[in-house]
Amino acid sequence: MLLEFEKPIADLELKLQEMKELAKGRKIDLSADIQSLEEKIQILKKETFQNLTRWQRVQLSRHADRPYALDYIYEMTNDFVELHGDRTVKDDKAMIGGLGDLDGRSVMFIGQQKGRNTKQRQERNFGMANPEGYRKALRLMKMAEKFGKPIVTLIDTPGAFPGLEAEERGQGEAIARNLKEMFMLKVPVICIIIGEGASGGALGIAIGDKVYMLENTWYSVISPESCSSILWRSWDYKEQAAEALKLTATDMKNNGLIDGIIEEPLGGAHKDMKNMAKTIKSTILEALKELDKIKPEKRTDQRIDKFCSMGVFVE
């Protein structure tokens, strides 16, 4: 699936492929033309992806080919063991978690998971967790704390599930409890936004010592479409809403809301998932090395202070 701003690049790549096939089939030397076109494609890619609008980055964060939490986890770890259930209601497939070996160290991974096709999307509820999903996440965090294992959360959700049954089972309470408990965890907590970071659904697993965003992701209290529908009673103003919300990784870093931006391959994370996973893994290991040097009590205090100092206010 191509996004609108990707089409000019795709057209040139198609021409390049045709040129290569022509040169091979007719045994013609087109190396100079091929090299020139390859350079042109590279320049166009850089110009396009270095100057994306906020709305285009939102689109890229939702790209159909973009890697999801389990893609990264299986690529980064050895012997990942998924753990299930909140021990109260059921196992929420939209929230996944389990232990994996990260360069010889056991790490508790937790994240929202979307689906690739219609059946998977229904099973995963489009990455929108119910209260039992957040309670499962908290159960796994407490397990990690008990056994002294660091926690890594991978965030990618359009929001917590807003259905009536979710509210009846205490969606707000489940997320609020996660916020409170994550502040007090004695083990290192690293949070990485790998796609969409919408509202409390994202924040419910995003209280950490280190919070990172991939380059082409977004993090906001509301999606551009929902913001547009509230302010203008129409989704047609989603581009303006995205600009007003200032929801990109660069915006978040400038406002002091995240600790760092993880660079993506040119064209987005889906263009080179293996290298993207390698970059995320090295970021996690580097952060753990830094956090391991801090005593648990001091680390908890720093985590609380970091979030309490966010925002601008006048007394």
Residue 131 CA to residue 88 CA, distance in Å, equals 10
Which of 254, 236, 266, 233 minimizes the C-alpha distance to 312?
254
Residue range 110-125: average pLDDT?
96
Residue 32 CA to residue 35 CA, distance in Å, equals 5
pLDDT category, 82, cuts 50, 70, 90? very high
* Phi (first) and psi of residue 119, to 5 degrees: -65, -45
* Sign of the C-alpha dihedral computed for residues 19, 21, 26 and 30 taken in this order: positive
Checking if the pLDDT of 33 tops 90, the result is no
Checking if the pLDDT of 1 tops 90, the result is no
The per-residue pLDDT for 31 is 85
Residue 97 CA to residue 251 CA, distance in Å, equals 29
pLDDT category, 313, cuts 50, 70, 90? confident
pLDDT category, 25, cuts 50, 70, 90? confident
pLDDT (tens digit per residue) in 216-242? 999 999 999 999 999 999 999 999 999
Mean pLDDT of the chain: 95
User: pTM for this structure?
Assistant: 0.93
* Sign of the C-alpha dihedral computed for residues 10, 15, 16 and 18 taken in this order: positive
Residue 292 CA to residue 299 CA, distance in Å, equals 9
Checking if the pLDDT of 42 tops 80, the result is yes
Checking if the pLDDT of 108 tops 80, the result is yes
Query: Residue 140 contacts by C-beta under 8 Å, 6 or more apart in sequence?
Result: 83, 97, 98, 108, 110
- Kindly state the percentage of the chain with pLDDT values over 70: 100
pLDDT category, 311, cuts 50, 70, 90? confident
pLDDT category, 43, cuts 50, 70, 90? very high
Environment class of residue 279 by beta-carbon count within 10 Å: exposed (0-12), middle (13-18) or buried (19+)? middle
Which pair of tokens denotes residue 93? 């497939």
Checking if the pLDDT of 11 tops 90, the result is yes
